[in-house]
Structure 1
Amino acid sequence: MSSVSQTNVQQQTGKSLVASLFSACKQLKKIHVSTLLLALILAAPLISISIEAFAPNSDTFAHIQQTVLADYVINTCLLALGVSILVISIGVPLAWLIAICDFRFKGFFQWALVLPLAMPAYIVAYTYTDLFDYAGPIQTNLRNWFGWQSATDYYFFDIRSLPGAIIVLALVLYPYVYLMVRAGFLEQQANLTHVARTMGYSPTKCFFKVSVPVARNAIIASTALVLMESIADFATVKYFAVSTLTTAIYDTWLGYYDLAAAAKLSIIMVAGIFILLYFERLQNGKKQTHNDAKLSAQKLVYQLNKKQSFAAFCFCSLILLVSFVAPLIILADYAIDYFSQAWNDKLLQFTLNSLIIAALTAIIAIVFSLLLNFSLRIKPNKLHKSSLKVASSGYAIPGTVMAIGVLIPLAFLDNQINALAESLNLSAPGLLLSGSFIAIVLAHSIRFIAIANKGIEASYSKVSPSLDMVAKTMGQTSFNIFRKVHFALIRKSVLVAGLLIFVESMKELPAALLLRPFDYQTLPTYVFQYASTEQLEIAALGAIIIVVVGLIPLIVINRSIEKN
């Protein structure tokens, strides 16, 4: 090849490289701007609540502050504390039995103990109220057997109380602790316990002195998650007539029609949750536990004898029975007896509404999360890191608070759209955003995007940066790198995150209840409407549909985890 042709080739190559770099810079700039806009959208609810909360005090809030605010705060704290103690008492022993011990039917319980995640707390509350109430079958049979005439002749636990709410919430939230702590126990190496046994420690003492400290961070993190879920609960405490901050926000908004007072209560609640998260991270950062894999690759396994195996089987069976099997049997019995009254076109429409909202929520949350994580991947600056943190903070905002945070900006946009239409002599579209299911989808997406961020961020950390460098040297654009390299490696995590978001969205009640348009129902609002008027029999079929739809993704997720 002549020197002239070589020079031409070099010039063309140089031009193509410059053009590629220029195109890449434009794409980076677009991603940079879109990430900033997305962060603002995700932060909009919290910003709007904060602005509304600092408005001058209204008479409603002043009255609440002087009379019942202290009760709301105390009940919320007692609820969170009671649930956290109970889930630790249930979840940690279950995690240790499944991760460390070997007994009969362990393989069955390993996945079956996760099933309560598909059972919303308010459905368990409805079923156990019917079972344990004064007119329920248990108290009725007790009066018949012992000849008691009225409630004054005997004492029976009142399920509609703060302790009752604590028990119900713990029964459906313990899987969070069970799953995360089980993973912590599985990382424990046998050498730690062998050393403890040579020092004369019994298996029980090894559990408290070795196993629990190793899983300490997992226990704290999972308990913090349970605390947020219990604080955010609305339907259970509302049905049990327990006054908490969530019920106060709901009553203030829909009872007094005072959005500003509801925003002030919301900001108190959000501040408490963020303080909780701060202390959780502080505690996890103070003390780190590590295992040296070089010392022993052998996993710790306790082979239980017949008596111990039977005791482990009974404990696991009892928890599974009271948290999932018994409520499901009660619902199934009602659904069969009242099938002709419950099964109709409206129920099908409500199911379709819930499926559409859950599917859209999962898709939007996954797309947003992929954009945020990909932006951080290709350009790890403070803006992208902060955007990811802002997006992940939505899960700490309860559904009632999120509903207020979404309604304020959407109502403002609706007013601007209507004003613009009137200025152009067009008919005003009305509540185009705040008066449609779009508001519900947006609230769910902002709240549950944290689930996607956790899984996708963890998967991205396992993708070597050298793969990006190789793809760039081959002339691949940023979009092609994401499509051909990144997504191919993280697609399983994306699928699992999408299914989890779908399940959570199907169960979510407060946002749908507060933001739904007139005469628009989802399955949770349908079940809540009938159960709150003591017609659980009619709502049982809808409740079963929620549970079954939630079970399918959980089975898929469990199989995916087992394969991995």
Structure 2
Amino acid sequence: MADIEYSEDGSRHRHARGTRLLGFLSYGIAAACLLPMLAVVLAALTGGTDTVTHLAGTVLPRYLGTTVLLVALVAVGTFCLGVGAAWLVTMTRFPGVRLLEVALVLPLAFPAYVLAYAYTFILDHPGIVQTTLRQVTGWGPRDYWFPEIRSTEGAAIMLILVLYPYVYLLARAAFLQQSAAAFLAARALGSSPWRAFYRVSLPMARPAIAGGVLLAVMETIADFGTVSYFGVQTFATGIYTSWFSMGDRAAAAQLALCLLGFALLLAVSERMQRGKSKFYQTGQRQTARPATQLKGGKALFAFLLCAVPVFFGFLLPVLVLVEMGLESEQDLLSRRYLGFIRNSLTLAGAAAILTVAAATCIGFYKRVKPGRQSASAAYLARLGYAVPGGVIAVGLMVPFAAFDNALDAWMRATFDISTGLLVTGTIWLLVAAYMVRFLAAALSAYEGGQSMVHSNMDAAARSLGQSPLGTLRRVHLPLLTPSLLTALLIVFVDVMKELPATLIMRPFNFDTLAVQAYRLASDERLEGAAVPSLVIVAVGLLPVILICRQVGRR
């Protein structure tokens, strides 16, 4: 009996010790995610206001107006494309629907700035479209009007084409999970298919659709490559202008604080609005509504509506980039480009492993010890997704640069030794910025898999004397392998595409494919920029293929 009591005491002690360790790591990760935002707030409050006062009287209203307009256009565009395509491929049948329901995810592989390079090559004044138009008509450069691709509207179209899959995937999943009972009841009461969709199916899918639109809006706010290349003045470009052109860190931090507040306001407003309405399924999942067979003009219209975003968001840009790459003088197998690829893979691999490990720690601690503290740690870990990569980079550079300078000064005064920059300008600080930026994505993937692990498994493992870490290692990780691999892949590709943080924080002479593409495009060497862009897109296809397989399985 004494042995049993001793064993129970030892098990209880190991459980408490493991829980404390998980809590310590979770709070440390949450603090690391909060650090760049606190640094930005502190720099904004302690800095002078001369530059911001000048900006407020000159370009700040333009920054605000352009950002709001861009967000509104992307929100409306992604909603219409994503929801419309999801409803058609889920609730109707027409020729090619099986192929299109998978192909509609493909534009997700493209970074918006790569799409911008491709369409600038096609639609700009020396591009093939306007050149052909002048040759056919004999017009001169000033004899006709042509839409300007380098504009706010052009940037919005680029972002809509690559971000609508967020809304499409979530809306499609919501429509598939809906029972047919409510929809059929509305039809039986005399509602047309469109009215039944608008009054019944759409409100029931609203939380998922709002989540997809919010993701697209957050990506729009964080975008720098597209708006910078198109010369669109938003808060993101204003932050970089204040930081690099004016050399005013306080002004950059104050603008970043405004952008952060705007992003958090959108997230909080959406959640509050969603909380006012609740919808419950009254039918069974198995009572799926029979799909409507479309014929003739309706089938053609549905096919075109679903095929157009796939063509303009994936097929055409790929063909253009391949043609541009073949005409360029860039050698992908050269020593220089192999270095770019190696650097990109190194950063993406290290960031993916660290981010998924952090997400596992936070997600499992929230399960082991549910409550306000663990929920707060998970909430803080998600905040980084609402912050542009450049803001996170600035928020990490300011405190660590101060630390490096203070340490160097102390070592010089005490031992006459210069330590230089130990943290600032290193790969690991850049990897930490990636972790803060993409931890929310990894945490969502982990929690999605963890929700499928029954709590009885945790109780059984604890009754057998397993500590929390033992339960995680022997029970959860084997069951969550698919979710963890998905999270690794998502973070890996996101890091490959990330541009602002890499531009600011990369070590000297440590360029990546994204930096090389941006540099060549900035020099108007679009053919050269196509080569690294194609590699980024090819890597981005990996998680998209995984998603497509899941979509194909329905």
Regarding TM over 0.5, the answer is: yes
Distance 1:224 1:485 in 2: 34
Letter in 2 for 1:45: P
Distance 1:53 1:300 in 2: 57
Q: Which residue of 2 aligns with 1:65?
A: 56
Q: Which residue of 1 aligns with 2:232?
A: 242
Q: Which residue of 1 aligns with 2:497?
A: 507
Q: Which residue of 1 aligns with 2:479?
A: 489
Encode CA deviations 1:405-447: one digit per residue, 9 max, x unaligned.
1112221332344345436637433222211222221111101
Please say which of residues 515-524 and 231-240 is displaced more in the overlay.
Answer: 515-524
Letter in 2 for 1:148: W
The counterpart of 1:323, out of the listed 305, 309, 313, is 313
Q: Which residue of 1 aligns with 2:446?
A: 456
Q: Is the 8 A contact 1:191 1:296 kept in 2?
A: no
Distance 1:154 1:546 in 2: 36
The counterpart of 2:548, out of the listed 542, 547, 558, is 558
Shift of 1:563: 5.1
Please say which of residues 94-103 and 543-552 is displaced more in the overlay.
Answer: 94-103
Shift of 1:543: 0.5
Shift of 1:463: 1.9
Q: Is the 8 A contact 2:393 2:505 kept in 1?
A: yes
Q: Is the 8 A contact 1:88 1:174 kept in 2?
A: yes
Q: Is the 8 A contact 1:103 1:312 kept in 2?
A: yes
Q: Which residue of 1 aligns with 2:379?
A: 389
Distance 2:329 2:310 in 1: 26
The counterpart of 2:247, out of the listed 254, 257, 269, is 257
Encode CA deviations 1:175-217: one digit per residue, 9 max, x unaligned.
1111111111112222222222222222223222222222122
Letter in 2 for 1:136: G
Shift of 1:562: 4.6
Task: Confirm or deny that 1:101 pairs with 2:96.
Answer: no
Give 3-state SS (helix, strand or coil) of 2:46's partner: coil
Task: Confirm or deny that 1:194 pairs with 2:184.
Answer: yes
Please say which of residues 220-229 and 385-394 is displaced more in the overlay.
Answer: 220-229
Please say which of residues 496-505 and 73-82 is displaced more in the overlay.
Answer: 496-505
The counterpart of 2:201, out of the listed 207, 211, 219, is 211
The counterpart of 2:136, out of the listed 138, 141, 145, is 145
Q: Is the 8 A contact 1:421 1:428 kept in 2?
A: yes
Shift of 1:340: 5.2
Shift of 1:16: 2.4
Shift of 1:31: 2.2
Matches within 5 A, 1:333-348: 333-339=323-329, 343-348=333-338
Q: Which residue of 2 aligns with 1:422?
A: 412
Shift of 1:63: 1.6
Q: Is the 8 A contact 2:15 2:466 kept in 1?
A: no
Shift of 1:166: 1.0
Q: Which residue of 2 aligns with 1:3?
A: none
Q: Which residue of 2 aligns with 1:309?
A: 299
Task: Confirm or deny that 1:546 pairs with 2:536.
Answer: yes
CA 1:562–1:320 in 2, change beyond 3 Å: closer, same or farther? closer
Distance 2:106 2:186 in 1: 35
Identity %: 36
Task: Confirm or deny that 1:353 pairs with 2:334.
Answer: no
Encode CA deviations 1:73-128: one digit per residue, 9 max, x unaligned.
11100110011111112111111111111222222212211111111101111111
The counterpart of 1:24, out of the listed 6, 15, 24, is 15
Give 3-state SS (helix, strand or coil) of 1:374's partner: helix
Q: TM-score scaled to structure 2, two decimals?
A: 0.96
Distance 1:426 1:366 in 2: 41
Give 3-state SS (helix, strand or coil) of 1:157's partner: coil
CA 1:423–1:487 in 2, change beyond 3 Å: closer, same or farther? farther
RMSD: 1.8
Task: Confirm or deny that 1:166 pairs with 2:165.
Answer: no
Shift of 1:50: 0.8
Give 3-state SS (helix, strand or coil) of 2:478's partner: helix
CA 1:281–1:137 in 2, change beyond 3 Å: closer, same or farther? same
Q: Which residue of 2 aligns with 1:176?
A: 166
Matches within 5 A, 1:275-314: 275-294=265-284, 297-314=287-304
Distance 2:2 2:340 in 1: 64
Please say which of residues 214-223 and 306-315 is displaced more in the overlay.
Answer: 306-315
Task: Confirm or deny that 1:498 pairs with 2:488.
Answer: yes
Runs (5+) with no aligned partner, structure 2? none
Encode CA deviations 1:492-540: one digit per residue, 9 max, x unaligned.
1111111111111111101101112222211111000000111011111
Task: Confirm or deny that 1:126 pairs with 2:151.
Answer: no
Shift of 1:352: 1.1
Distance 1:59 1:517 in 2: 32
Distance 2:535 2:188 in 1: 53
Higher relative contact order structure (alpha carbons within 8 Å, sequence separation ≥ 6): 2
Distance 2:409 2:544 in 1: 47
Q: Which residue of 2 aligns with 1:55?
A: 46
Q: Is the 8 A contact 1:186 1:299 kept in 2?
A: no
Q: Which residue of 1 aligns with 2:354?
A: 364
Shift of 1:342: 5.8
Runs (5+) with no aligned partner, structure 1? 1-9
The counterpart of 2:263, out of the listed 273, 276, 279, is 273
Q: Is the 8 A contact 1:188 1:300 kept in 2?
A: no
Distance 1:467 1:79 in 2: 48
Distance 1:295 1:257 in 2: 58
Letter in 2 for 1:518: F
Task: Confirm or deny that 1:115 pairs with 2:112.
Answer: no
CA 1:203–1:430 in 2, change beyond 3 Å: closer, same or farther? same
Letter in 2 for 1:368: A
Task: Confirm or deny that 1:37 pairs with 2:28.
Answer: yes
Distance 1:212 1:560 in 2: 23
CA 1:342–1:25 in 2, change beyond 3 Å: closer, same or farther? closer
Q: Which residue of 2 aligns with 1:536?
A: 526
Letter in 2 for 1:311: F
Shift of 1:260: 1.2
Distance 1:209 1:381 in 2: 37
Distance 1:563 1:131 in 2: 36
Q: Is the 8 A contact 1:342 1:539 kept in 2?
A: no
Distance 2:47 2:308 in 1: 52
Q: Is the 8 A contact 2:102 2:551 kept in 1?
A: no
Q: Is the 8 A contact 1:189 1:300 kept in 2?
A: no
Give 3-state SS (helix, strand or coil) of 2:415's partner: coil
Distance 1:445 1:113 in 2: 29
Distance 1:424 1:372 in 2: 41
Distance 1:450 1:133 in 2: 37
Q: Is the 8 A contact 2:393 2:501 kept in 1?
A: yes
Q: Is the 8 A contact 1:339 1:541 kept in 2?
A: no
Q: Is the 8 A contact 2:73 2:156 kept in 1?
A: yes
